[in-house]
Amino acid sequence: MRILLVEDDTLLGDALHAGLRQAGHAVDWVRDGVSAETALIAEDYAAMVLDLGLPRLGGLDVLRHLRQKQKTLPVLILTARDTVDDRIRGLDAGADDYLIKPFDLGELNARLRALLRRAGGQPAPVLAAAGITLDPATRHVEYEGNEIELSAKEYDLLHVLMQQAGRALSRAQLEQHLYAWGDEIGSNTVEVYIHHLRRKLGADAIRTMRGIGYVVPKTAGTP
Ligand code: CA
């Protein structure tokens, strides 16, 4: 999933960037509030990890502006231990969750999974559609009960399609989810991954909607 990371501390930002990427996310990292707002306008993120103490424009203002625009993007704020008022203000300004520094990367990723699940309208931890099950916590995929080995990008692509099962996503929308700034995108990469996924999951697992994009049907055999 495409994540916006907003953190001005270089050491912490580096660790977060690496940890989120290792969890399979495409991560854009900015270090101040103004750059965060620019990124939010330019890109379509699945979630934002937001530090509150930021140069140029504070995290609370970024959050308030986002919610004023009626954007429902899940936001997890990062706060210092002794600032309970910040956490209350952050939650009241529209944050969905918070973590107190220092925190464990495993917990951050678990909380993000929970936020992404709720945002996708998927209350169950394991996604299921069209005979496929996908577990974001373990990145295990099964098709009709058999475990399927996928590359990191194949998994990410399937995850996005499964999270929005029944809805067609265009190549451009899929690229938005899969690639961060600076990532190389080949001209036909999405098509190649779709081809690989069909080879592994069966030709009907992912349908092509002509002129629209790709869809994982909610149940096997229906569009
Ligand atoms: Ca800070």
Structure pTM?
0.88
Residue 4 Cα, ligand 1 centroid: separation in angstroms?
A: 15
Compute, in angstroms, the gap from residue 54 CA to the centroid of ligand 1: 5
C-alpha–C-alpha distance, residues 165 and 206, integer Å: 10
CA of 10 to the centre of ligand 1 (A): 9
CA of residue 217 to ligand 1 center, whole Å: 43
> What is the rounded CA–CA span in Å between residue 26 and residue 40?
15
> 183 CA distance to ligand 1 centroid (A)?
26
Q: What is the pLDDT of residue 186?
A: 75
* Angle in degrees, CA 157, 203, 45, rounded to 5: 15
The confidence score (pLDDT) of residue 187 equals 73
Q: In one letter, which amino acid is 70?
A: Q
**Ligand 1 center–CA 12 separation, angstroms:** 9
Give tens-digit pLDDT for 142-191.
999 999 999 988 999 999 999 889 999 999 999 989 999 988 877 778 99
Architecture of domain 2-119: 3-Layer(aba) Sandwich (3.40)
Ligand 1 centre from 51 Cα, in Å? 6
Reading the chain (223 residues) residue by residue, the pLDDT tens digits are: 899 999 999 999 999 999 999 998 999 999 999 999 999 999 999 999 999 999 999 999 999 999 999 889 999 999 987 789 999 999 999 999 999 999 999 999 999 999 998 887 777 889 999 899 999 989 999 999 999 999 988 999 999 999 889 999 999 999 989 999 988 877 778 999 999 999 999 888 999 999 999 999 987 655 5
**CA of 19 relative to ligand 1 center, distance in Å:** 18
Cα of 106 vs centre of ligand 1, distance in Å, is 21
Ligand 1 center to residue 48 CA distance, Å? Answer: 15
Q: What pLDDT shows up at residue 221?
A: 58
Q: What is the CATH number of domain 127-215?
A: 1.10.10.10
Give the pLDDT score at 69: 94
Per domain, the residue ranges of the chain are 2-119, 127-215
Report the pLDDT value the prediction gives residue 49, as an integer from 0 to 100. Answer: 98
